[in-house]
Structure 1
Amino acid sequence: MKIEAIVWLAVSVVILYLVWKTLSPVLSPVIIAATLVYIFYPLHKKFSGQIGARSSAFILTSAVTLMTFLFIIGFAVWMNEVKQSLVYYLNSVFNWLISLNLPPALSELINKLGESISQRFEGYILGYTYSLPKLSLQAIVMVFVFYGILVNARPIRDEVYSLLPAENRDLAVKLMEKTERTLNDLLRSWLTISVLKGVAVTLGVLVLHIVTVGEAIALGIFTVLLELLPVVGGWITWLGGFVYLLNVGEIVKAFLLLVYGIVFVSPVPDMVLRPRVSMREKGINAMISFIGILGGLMAFGVVGIIIGPVVLGLMATLLEEWKETRGVSRS
């Protein structure tokens, strides 16, 4: 019996290893596809009741395909400029923080963090800059996975719940619910609003002819990153642009950017949208989200923005359950 168990264990390990080697090259597009499905699923449900599930999935997949195609074109044309501009913006912020006469230990931490993030980002972008076929292949995988998950979303959910262990089903359900709450707060509120603000910044500086296209895209990405962090926000980008335009004598553009930033970036969108979808008040703790996003970004790249907070949220749930178990056992 022991020999048979060992053989099955060895076979299982080999299978899991081969599965991992097979999926690891396409893990990022699969995660991105699942993320997009989660964001678009409420819209899919609404369309499904009117035109059918497959027609709805086809329309949404066509829209995602078009956005992906435009992204690849933009990546090929402007990515080098975007990379240089974004690294410049990141370094400027970290240099400004270092200049605030903070305690030596904190200044050193900020300096190392700035270098690490800049190097990580450059390496991540360069890995794709010289391999557009790889990026295109991953985009194709993402589109197909998006359609497949969207069409089979309900059966997949039912299958996952059917696989939950009977002995610890309550804990497993809690973890599933925690994951869903975290994803809802992170993706359908905070991240979605952050991306919309980034798009608003990009369009605003382009319409006002303040920067080039690549620099505008970099400012939009920078706005999204700032919005994902606690305390700071996208207002830093339009405020910095306002000060810059005043310094170079572009008074009219400066005040147009000021009004545009207040109305479309911050604080008006926060005042209107935060009472309805506020992750910072109802969802993940700010410190947990900060550590999760930053650590996830450094460990896993862009998809780490999703993985990090979810993993830390699950860990918090496990700790709460462990404390409750200990309390019951002592009583």
Structure 2
Amino acid sequence: MSDKIQITSSHKVLIIALLLAGFACFLLVEPYINSIVMAFIISLLMFPIHERVERYLPKHRNISSLLSCIILTFIIVFPLLFVFAAIIQQGSTFSQSVYQWVTTGGIQTAFEHPWVVKSLAIINNYLPFDSIAPQEIAQKVAQFSTSFGTRLVGLSAKILGDATNFLMNFFLMLFVLFFLLRDHEKIISAIRHILPLSRSQEDKLLDEVEQVAKSAVMGSFLTAIAQGLAGGIGMAIAGFPALFWGTMMGFASFIPVIGTALIWIPASLYLLLTGETGLAIFLAGFSVFVVGSIDNLLRPFLMQGNGGMNTLMIFFSLLGGLHLFGLIGLIYGPIIFAVTVVLFHIYEEEFQGFLDQQDKS
């Protein structure tokens, strides 16, 4: 008896209807897709903890899932609230210090620095357009500083709005996570049943998605945390608010190629212009050799679970994911590449005889 399926016209109608219904469902959940994906990924990371909770409550799946979600809330939300409060306080203090520096003539003093004078002379000598006048730059900075308070209020309102959206998305993610933890066996069984692949191929595909999702989170976010901590230490030694600028360096580490240089280069130049040459050299050296080495060593180590993906593929998966999807693309990109690699290997296995024959022809 043949295992081949005879596709009838009714089957075609059913498949088309299923695809249309699936697309309609996707449109319904599209605004919340990031929360759903993050819930799926966090469920993979939380599952070892959830299994321990289930051992104590084997007959109470709802309660064990709820406890796991509460544990996650304590792990993530409360530390973040403390950090956000400290960031706002330190950022406000630093902004006031910069405002006072600008309004008391600090910008004019900086432009009188010998290095700045020489640099502007060289730039003006080779520029194909009008020369740069220090007075014009100082005037623009002064104009910006006069409206700095209004801009700061607007920025604070935006941060508050973003924080509110974050909390809403977080609790939506918790809601999805509850059901993923409670019904994980049913969900995996349903996925296996629907996929038209052999058990070994399903295992390979699901295992690869799990490994890549975990390594993408660990590789990107743990590297950002490590670079933020190291950068905060360097900034504190250089005299900057540690928590505020360490957090900024952590966020900047997500940007490919540039990374934390977006923060420490202007900070080093500021120290240099204000006469703190020793601290400027220290901050630049510390950022290059300590903070930079974390990105070069820790990220590849944490992302080594991307089986079948070399360093070049990982780089473009991160870069392309960030470009297409934003910050969440640091997870989407590697998963898309990894699934493609696994499907390509399955294709090679299924058509190995044909491909070998083509090589010989």
Scaled by the length of structure 1, the TM-score of the pair is: 0.63
Which of 278, 284, 293 does residue 267 from structure 1 map onto?
Answer: 293
Is structure 2 residue 274 aligned with structure 1 residue 248?
Answer: yes
Deviation at 1:26, TM superposition (A): 0.6
Partner of 1:218: 248
Superposition pairs for residues 140-159 of structure 1, below 5 Å? Answer: 140-159=171-190
Question: Deviation of residue 66 (structure 1)?
Answer: 3.0
Superposed CA offset, 1:231-257 (max 9, x none): x87588657755653453325644764
Conservation of the 8 A alpha-carbon contact between 1:235 and 1:267: no
The CA deviation at 1:27 is 0.7
Q: Distance in 1 between matches of 2:228 and 2:43?
A: 21
Matched ranges for 1:12-91 at <5 A: 12-45=18-51, 53-54=64-65, 55-66=67-78
Alpha carbons of 1:309 and 1:41: their partners in 2 closer, same or farther (altered >3 Å)?
same
- CA 161–18 in structure 1, closer or farther in 2 if over 3 Å, else same: same
1:66-145 equivalences under 5 Å are 66=78, 132=162, 134-145=165-176
Q: Who is 1:117 aligned against?
A: none
Match of 1:188 in 2: 218
The alpha carbon displacement at 1:264 in A equals 6.4
TM-fit CA distance, 1:302: 1.7
Aligned-pair CA distance for 1:221: 0.8
Q: Distance in 1 between matches of 2:334 and 2:265?
A: 29
Where structure 1 has 5 or more consecutive residues not aligned to the other structure, the ranges are 83-124
Q: Which residue of 2 aligns with 1:287?
A: 312
Question: What's the offset of the Cα at 1:23?
Answer: 0.6
Correspondences of 1:197-208 after superposition (within 5 Å): 197-202=227-232, 204-205=234-235, 208=238
Residue 24 of structure 1: CA displacement? Answer: 0.5
Q: Which amino acid aligns with 1:58?
A: I
Shift of 1:208: 4.8
1:265 partner amino acid: V
Verify the 8 A CA contact 1:202 1:220 in the aligned structure 2.
no
Aligned to 1:298: 323
Match of 1:311 in 2: 336
User: 2 CA distance for matches of 1:33 and 1:247?
Assistant: 47
Residue type of the partner of 2:187?
I
**Aligned residues with identical type, % of pairs:** 19
Distance in 1 between residues matched to 2:339 and 2:167, nearest whole Å:
33
Q: In the TM superposition, what is the alpha-carbon distance from 1:161 to its structure 2 partner?
A: 3.2
**In 2 relative to 1, CA 154–198 (structure 1 residues): closer, same or farther, beyond 3 Å?**
farther
Q: Structure 2: how far apart are the matches of 1:161 and 1:281?
A: 22
The 3 A distance-change label for structure 1 pair 9 and 164 is: closer
Give 1:180 deviation, angstroms: 2.4
| 1:311 shift after superposition | 0.8
RMSD of Structure 2 on Structure 1 (CA): 4.6
2:119 matched residue in structure 1: none
Distance 1:266 1:300, change over 3 A: closer
Give the stretch that moved more between structures: 132-141 or 234-243: 234-243
- Match for residue 126 of structure 2? none
Q: How far apart are the structure 2 equivalents of 1:268 and 1:292?
A: 20
SS in 1 for 2:254: helix
Distance in 2 separating the partners of 1:270 and 1:316: 24
Given the superposition, is the C-alpha separation of residues 4 and 141 from structure 1 closer, same or farther in structure 2, using an over 3 Å criterion? same
- The amino acid that maps onto 1:322 is Y
The structure having more radius of gyration, on CA atoms, is: 2
- In structure 2, the CA distance between the partners of 1:164 and 1:305, relative to structure 1 (3 Å rule), is same
Counterpart-to-counterpart distance in 2, 1:253 and 1:314: 47
* Gap change, CA 1:32 and 1:73, over 3 Å in 2: farther
Deviation (angstroms), 1:316: 1.9
How big is the shift at 1:156? 3.4
TM-score, normalised to structure 2's length? 0.58
Pair 1:234–1:38, CA change in 2 (3 A): farther
Q: Distance in 2 between matches of 1:254 and 1:2?
A: 74
Deviation of 1:139 (Å)? 3.0
Q: Secondary structure at the match of 1:210?
A: coil
- Asked whether the equivalents of residues 233 and 242 of structure 2 are also in contact (C-alpha less than 8 Å), the reply is no
Post-superposition offset of 1:200:
3.7
Change (3 A) 1:308 1:69: same
Is the CA contact (8 Å cut-off) linking 1:61 and 1:146 kept in structure 2?
Answer: no
